[in-house]
Amino acid sequence: MKVDLWQPNSATLICLNNTVDAHVKRNDTRRLHTHLQRENIDYRVFISDLQREIQKQTGSRSSRKRRSETQYDYEVYHSLDEIQSWMFEMNRTHSDLVDMFSVGKSYEGRPLYVLQIGKRSRQQKKAVWIDCGVHAREWIGPAFCQWFVKEAINSYQYDSVTRRLLNQLSFYIMPVFNVDGYHFSWTTDRFWRKTRSKNHKFHCRGTDANRNWKVKWCEEGASSHPCDDTYCGPFPESEPEVKAVAKFLRKNRKRVKAYISIHAYAQMLLYPYSYKYATIPNFSCVESAAHSAVSALYSAYGVRYRYGPASTTLYVSSGSSIDWAYRNGISYAFAFELRDTGYYGFLLPESLISPTCTETLRAVKAIASGLLKKCEVDKDTFPYI
């Protein structure tokens, strides 16, 4: 029986007394029920008809909530083509605050677009990198990146916090990191996670773009088998998407002070290390920033997020982007796991886009605001090991 694990994403991470979220084909449900009952395993059916829920989010626009045909709707999920057209439009209509560029091409040849948001300035400003859509099925990610851009541009005139942030910092926003996988999740398999690169020895496609970074590559928490969802790839930075972003961040490492990657789902804010149980040298500063972010997020709707090192808060994983960013001198590296905690999972309803993005925006602004203050850290901190 083929089981699509949602949480955790690998069978090796299943442990005693922990919950597991899984999706099976309709024809296998009765067999699974029988098996679980026989083993005395408690279970609940959260979504009995996944296809119906998928249709709500990908069906024809007429059947979905649409407030205005002329205005871009930030409260629905958008296909890759729609997102890229929106990026061009933002670049065209807000040239005072927005600059669009490409960092490279994907495996299937699609451009990897990034929006630089901020007030133009002669001197080099500190920068914040935010990427969304590393894992294709996590659609709330790209929705947040678009929401962030909209709010930054719309509130620049009247919100003093936003104005200060955009005047003093540059934000690099990559709404869809894994463009090929995201496109595939719209056209073919809604629950696709990986990139779409081909493997010469196996028929299975794709690499986990968050296990492909050049830091403790393919060790604990990553798989060397091409058919697994956490496949680390044939070598570090084998994926053109990872290679392109790593190259850009390396080139701008003196300016980029924070790296933020938006994922789903678990309601967590994670920081290094992912690959080992150890405390980072600037733990007090990073932990303080995480606490501020989670408190700001809670202030919107009372949603609670856990925060801490990725290895202890979520699970151990090697080759992750936050560990790579941290090793490459970006001292504030965070991964958000947005709503929810498993009821809808990857199929977070469109009605929850607005509250999820509103609260997450508060958290990201808290992290960015913290960069403008000085956090005292011991100058003789030991290097990243």
Give catalytic residues, as residue numbers: 337
Both tokens of 169, joined, read: 């910092």
Instruction: Tell me which amino acid residue 212 is.
Output: N
Rounded to the nearest 10 degrees, how much is the dihedral formed by the CA atoms of 371, 376, 381, 383? 0
Calculate the CA 265 to chain-centre distance.
9
Q: Determine the Cα–Cα distance for residues 226 and 94; give it in Å rounded to an integer.
A: 43
The CA angle 138-141-142, to the nearest 5 degrees, is: 110
Kindly give the pairing relationship between strand 126-132 and strand 169-174. parallel
Q: Are 381 and 281 in contact (CB under 8 A)?
A: yes
SS3 247: helix
> Measured on CA atoms in the order 201, 207, 211, 216, is the torsion positive or negative?
positive
- 327 membership: H or E segment, kind and range: helix 321-327
Crossing angle of helices 353-371 and 160-168, rounded to 10°: 60
Q: Determine the Cα–Cα distance for residues 320 and 218; give it in Å rounded to an integer.
A: 10
Both tokens of 16, joined, read: 């005693």
- Of 338, 342, 221, the residue nearest 273 (C-alpha): 221
Q: Determine the Cα–Cα distance for residues 321 and 275; give it in Å rounded to an integer.
A: 11
